[in-house]
């Protein structure tokens, strides 16, 4: 394979790009700004606070589910359309940074918290929130029916908002991906508020990364590319993306796959992201990869196979990183406004997606046992476990308080700058 280094293009605009020296401080400020936009954004960006609360609970407050791979950060924004190498698209879990072999209850509670804060942000009443939690449990439990894993995806009744996202995903092309991600269909990545310059050391590391045959093979594994095709790094930049992950190393790499005569005909946008230790607690005495990137890739294979098959673990400047090629059909699902009619349907659908990911890792007897545990501890006024409702109520209160304190600190910090 032929590998060339990423080059700096003198003609590229440096509009609003942050130099390497000031990068970390700028990323922290941006993360604070994003988390101040809404209580739901604060919940999405504060996984650590969630698990601090989990750790503060007395033992046996929550049921101990079977040890399986869990998302670990199961909020609404981490579910969405994902394409596989053959172009088929399904709604799956799309962010596995926090994945561990742990308690599936944690995914349920975090999803319920995310849905509740999204509903409150949409000015929906507490009555609607309660109905959403009931429907969430119904959708999740249905994944554990004895026949559920035979054709799990086909059995999901998509709400209208989900159908719109899926239609948009199917229509997307490389040119649309380029316009949205890099604002340019030419083989460069323009600097701006989304992409910032790399240091000389980071640019050298980009070249070294794709000198690894296993990593370069990821770029040739999709869309019927020739296994022996050349992989040329056309450009690379620091990628300002995400919220809770802002501050971690993240690099976008624009590759050209193929022969010299077909240069520019098969472009590939690769996402390289630093993997760090998960905040989500794992079950003791379970086997997991010790390397954080390998852990993320392994979890993805179990929870979101469409994504897991498109990922690799590697090293970048002595940091553990995982890579994936971005496909046009990979769409982040933002549900900023929930309507009264759609709220319960969305909750049921998304919980079913999570349930399918969990159930696929269990045998029939484990699924039945877990389903039975979920049906215990229900009151006469709410068709959901009492521990789930109590957890969501407590967490909404804590996160609302934390959000207001965050906004106060952020406003004060902004005033002093």
DSSP 179-230: HHHTS-SSSS---SSSEEPPPHHHHHHHHHHTTSHHHHHHHHSSTT--TT--
Please give the pLDDT value at position 227.
65
Write out pLDDT tens, residues 274-323. 999 999 999 998 999 999 999 999 999 999 998 998 899 999 999 999 99
Among 271, 294, 328, the domain-final residue is 328
Residues 78, 193, single domain; the answer is no
Give me the mean pLDDT over the 110-132 stretch: 92
Cα(391)–Cα(384) distance, integer angstroms: 12
CA distance 117 to 396: 7
Phi, psi for 100 (deg, rounded to 5): -150, 165
Whether the predicted pLDDT of 180 surpasses 70:
no
Q: Flag whether pLDDT at 255 surpasses 90.
A: no
Calculate the alpha carbon distances from 239 to 13, 36, 197 in Å: 16, 21, 9
Burial of 265 from C-beta contacts in 10 A (0-12 / 13-18 / 19+): exposed
Work out the number of other CB atoms within 10 angstroms of the CB of residue 166: 19
pLDDT band with cut points at 50, 70 and 90 for residue 120: confident
Interval 190-197 mean pLDDT: 88
Burial state string for 100-126 with b = 16 or more CB within 10 A and e = fewer than 16: bbbbbbbbbbbbbbbbbbbbbbbebee
Q: Quote the CA–CA distance of 176 and 279 in Å, as a whole number.
A: 35
Whole-model pTM over 0.75: yes
Task: Please give the Cα distance from 76 to 132 (Å, whole number).
Answer: 13
Share of the chain above pLDDT 90, in %: 50
Domain end (from 328, 353, 380): 328
Rounded to an integer, what distance in angstroms lies between the CA atom of residue 332 and that of residue 344? Answer: 20
Residue from 162, 179, 195 nearest 334 by CA = 162
Co-location of 197 and 323 in the same domain: yes
Choose one of 300, 328, 356: the last residue of a domain.
328
Question: Is residue 333 domain-resident?
Answer: no
Helix axes of 23-35 and 386-416: crossing angle, nearest 10 degrees: 130
Distance CA 78, CA 346 (A): 14
186 & 272 share domain: yes
Q: Tell me how many domains the chain contains.
A: 2
d(CA 99, CA 70): 6
pLDDT at 75 > cutoff 50: yes
Residues 156 and 112 in one domain: yes
Instruction: Provide the residue range defining the domain that includes 55.
Output: 38-172+339-417
Residue 415 and residue 374 share a domain: yes
Three-state secondary-structure class, residue 304: coil
In a domain, 129, yes or no: yes
Nearest to 35 by CA among 404, 394, 414, 391: 404
Is residue 25, in this structure, part of any structural domain at all? yes
Are 183 and 269 in contact by the 8 Å Cβ rule? The answer is no
């Amino acid at each position: 394979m032929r590998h060339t280094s990423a080059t700096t293009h003198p003609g590229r605009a440096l509009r609003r790009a942050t130099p390497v020296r000031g990068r970390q401080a700028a990323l922290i400020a941006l993360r604070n700004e994003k988390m101040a936009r809404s209580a739901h954004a604060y919940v999405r960006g504060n996984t650590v606070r969630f698990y601090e609360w989990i750790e503060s609970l007395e033992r046996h407050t929550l049921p101990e589910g079977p040890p399986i791979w869990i998302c670990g950060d199961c909020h609404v924004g981490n579910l969405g359309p994902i394409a596989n190498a053959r172009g088929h698209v399904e709604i799956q879990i799309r962010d596995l940074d926090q994945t561990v072999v742990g308690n599936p209850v944690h995914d349920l509670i975090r999803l319920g918290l995310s849905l509740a804060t999204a509903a409150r942000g949409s000015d929906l009443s507490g009555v609607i929130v309660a109905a959403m939690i009931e429907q969430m449990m119904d959708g999740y439990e249905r994944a554990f029916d004895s026949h559920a894993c035979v054709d799990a995806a086909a059995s999901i009744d998509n709400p209208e908002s989900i159908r719109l996202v899926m239609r948009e995903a199917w229509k997307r092309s490389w040119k649309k991906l380029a316009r949205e991600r890099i604002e340019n269909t030419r083989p460069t990545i323009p600097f701006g508020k989304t992409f910032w310059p790399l240091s000389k050391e980071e640019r050298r590391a980009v070249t070294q990364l794709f000198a690894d045959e296993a990593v370069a093979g990821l770029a040739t594994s999709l869309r019927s590319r020739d296994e022996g095709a050349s992989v040329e790094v056309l450009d690379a930049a620091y990628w300002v993306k995400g919220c809770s992950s802002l501050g971690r190393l993240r690099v976008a790499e624009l590759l050209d796959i193929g022969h010299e005569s077909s240069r520019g005909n098969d472009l590939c946008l690769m996402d390289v992201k630093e993997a760090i230790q998960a905040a989500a607690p794992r079950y003791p005495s379970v086997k997991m990869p010790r390397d954080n990137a390998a852990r993320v890739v392994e979890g993805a294979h179990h929870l979101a196979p469409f994504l897991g098959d498109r990922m690799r673990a590697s090293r970048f400047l002595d940091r553990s990183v995982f890579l994936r090629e971005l496909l046009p059909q990979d769409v982040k699902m933002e549900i900023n406004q929930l309507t009264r009619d759609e709220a319960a349907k969305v909750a049921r659908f998304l919980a079913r997606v999570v349930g399918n990911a969990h159930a696929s890792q269990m045998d029939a007897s484990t699924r039945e046992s877990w389903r039975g545990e979920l049906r215990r501890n229900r009151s006469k006024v709410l068709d959901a476990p009492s521990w789930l409702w109590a957890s969501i109520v407590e967490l909404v209160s804590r996160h609302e308080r934390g959000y207001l304190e965050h906004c106060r600190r952020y406003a004060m910090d902004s005033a002093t700058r």
